Amino acid sequence: MLDVRLLFSCLVDADFLDTEAHFNGDSDGKRPRQAGQSLDAQAALSALKRHLSERVRATTQADASVLAARESLWRATGAAAQAAPNVFTLTAPTGSGKTLAMLRFALEHAAQNKLKRIVLAVPFLTVIEQTAREYRKVFAGFPDNFVLEHHSLAGLGEESEQRDAEGDQERQRRLLAENWDAPIVLTTNVQLLESLFSNRPSSCRKLHNLMDSVILFDEAQSLPQHLAVPTLAALSHLSSVYRSSVVFATATQPAFGTLDQAVTQHAASGWKPVEVVPEHPKMFETLKRVDVAWPKSGEKRTWDSLANELRVTDQALVVVNLKRHALALLAALGDTPDVFHLSTNLCAEHRRAVLDRVRARLNSGLHCRLISTQCVEAGVDVDFPKVYRALAPLEAIAQAAGRCNREGRMNARSQLGEVIVFEPEEEGGWRRCYPTHTYYQATETTRTMLALYGDLDINDPAVFQAYYRHLYDLNDPATQNTELSEAITAADFVEVARQYRLIDTNAIQVLVPWADRWETFTELRAEAEKTGISAGWMRRAQSLAVSVYRTNAGTPAWAIPARLRQYGKTTAGISDEWFILEGDYYDDILGLTPPEGPQTFIA
């Protein structure tokens, strides 16, 4: 099926480009668009090395052991890059400089094997925004769109303040994003992986540009288990047949190698990745920066007791499993000063501002307590001396620990960061404590391992391999999602596309009036009321939107559906995806707080 999609990609992209050239043409004939740039891997590698020496190493405050580990990782990626295209894993501790090291691997590997482009896919927008900022620093001075962002917030970041989002540069970025015609592409797991299983021309037209490429997956542990086998099979086939290298990078590497036999049933090459950093266990040992305190069997904490402890703690991060739990802890803290909140109840711009304020206070040694859901864990660069983590899947606990003593500065004082795992006192079944049943199962696997082995060493990669084997024995990823498996067997492209979904798409976008962007909100609301919303409006509104789940209770009284813009004689309707918040339901700390009731969307 992937072979067919790649052929389909070549066909439909050529058709799209030819149609575009026709409508851009004049009396002299068609006018094709200017092709994207080619990857000059050597020039890009020189820029990366220059950035590392002049800006990263010269300004870092990291401990000597951290710097030594980063140098070790840098050398290992350079050595591994000389290999032929293949499937790789890159296992390295949080804070070891993985973002730049994996870019070094990709550039040197592309130069060695004459590969055409680099595609980096990440699971969360918070990660991609942070990576994009780092890449823009590395390739400052390179031509526009040398690094092409393709995600919902692209064109809305810091650089967009200097230009009209609907200007020529932004239009060019959107055109190139349609078929990933750029040397380096930053995108999301959803955009990349769902395209590999799509049946739509607009989604598939970029797939042929994955051939002869380096495809990097950061935070690879986020791949859903129920999609693991078909995903690994597609990527394995892409690598073995189309000269693409696939790299799974993470500090908590899943035991996907145990699924090789199941993958082989779909792709003859199976899943036999080569580790980029063979000496990574030693690196984890060297970079031990935290001590983890695990809860005793049956020991639980109330929100009030945790709040009392936080009041006498200068700087601490608390990561909980549910938004409702974050709100309960914030309520218990009451009017305690210097408390911040982070969750997807906050729009993207608001979350970015909170993280900037938190980092500033941490760097200045000021009081700072951050109460967050899991959205802070993967790839978010904050460095707390103490982290509290509600009992969760082992990889989530390790990711939270990566926000503690991240730069190893406490080690210079012969101290380690403190990670305290606790279990909230909560009545009811798993639905009251965990976001999904899969999350609950993984948490129970953590609990089982604690019972079997006692305190777990999150600095030992072997512990994670054992954890994933326990987890796979419990839920067997190879037998999950039978509907998708049957559709693949039947070569039913339409059903495969319907079944392969990384996230629940049954959600709406609510434009919210965050105080710091009040003028932007009022402009967007006025435009929606006067002329209706368009694709351009949606792009500008994305950073002020909160995504919430639908219910069967109908349209909520606290949000008004946006009117669609009318074009020509077409009758304008209303959007079933975009809503505008009505009423005083957006708080500067809590974010979106709609009235409770059957029409409340947020779980």
What residue has token string 């031990």?
288
Higher pLDDT, residue 170 or 330: 330
Average pLDDT over residues 396-404: 93
pLDDT reading at 567 higher than 50: yes
pLDDT of residue 59: 66
pLDDT of residue 338: 96
Is the C-alpha dihedral spanning 281, 282, 285, 288 positive or negative? negative
Q: How far apart are CA 559 and CA 146, in angstroms?
A: 40
Reference 94, options 336, 518, 395; nearest CA is 395
- Full-model pTM: 0.86
pLDDT reading at 126 higher than 70: no
Reference 287, options 64, 60, 61; nearest CA is 64
Give the 3-state secondary structure of residue 265: coil
pLDDT of residue 88: 98
pLDDT of residue 69: 84
pLDDT of residue 294: 97
Q: What confidence tens digit (pLDDT) does each residue in 21-56 have?
A: 999 888 788 888 888 899 999 999 999 999 988 866
pLDDT of residue 130: 76
Please give the DSSP secondary-structure letter assigned to residue 290.
E
CB 277 within 8 A of CB 461: no
Confidence of residue 153 (pLDDT cuts 50, 70, 90): low
pLDDT of residue 205: 95
Higher pLDDT, residue 432 or 331: 331
pLDDT reading at 352 higher than 70: yes
pLDDT reading at 164 higher than 60: no
Query: What is the fold of 36-284?
Result: Rossmann fold (3.40.50)
Higher pLDDT, residue 163 or 81: 81
Minimum mean pLDDT among 352-366, 420-434, 470-484, 548-562: which range?
Answer: 548-562
Q: What confidence tens digit (pLDDT) does each residue in 176-189 have?
A: 888 999 999 999 99
pLDDT of residue 58: 61
Average pLDDT over residues 477-498: 93
Nearest 5°: CA angle at 346, between 318 and 443? 40
pLDDT reading at 224 higher than 80: yes
Average pLDDT over residues 123-135: 79
CB 549 within 8 A of CB 601: yes
pLDDT of residue 599: 43
Half-sphere exposure of 112 (CA within 13 A, CB side): 19
Minimum mean pLDDT among 118-122, 196-200, 485-489, 568-572: which range?
Answer: 568-572
Average pLDDT over residues 413-427: 88
Query: What is the fold of 289-458?
Result: Rossmann fold (3.40.50)
pLDDT reading at 157 higher than 80: no
Please give the DSSP secondary-structure letter assigned to residue 548.
E
pLDDT of residue 259: 94
Confidence of residue 332 (pLDDT cuts 50, 70, 90): very high
Tokens of 105: 């691997």
Reference 216, options 286, 296, 276; nearest CA is 276
pLDDT of residue 61: 66
Please give the DSSP secondary-structure letter assigned to residue 294.
P
pLDDT reading at 231 higher than 80: yes
Where does the chain hold its CATH 3.40.50.300 domain(s)? Answer: 36-284, 289-458
Minimum mean pLDDT among 107-116, 225-234, 272-281, 590-599: which range?
Answer: 590-599
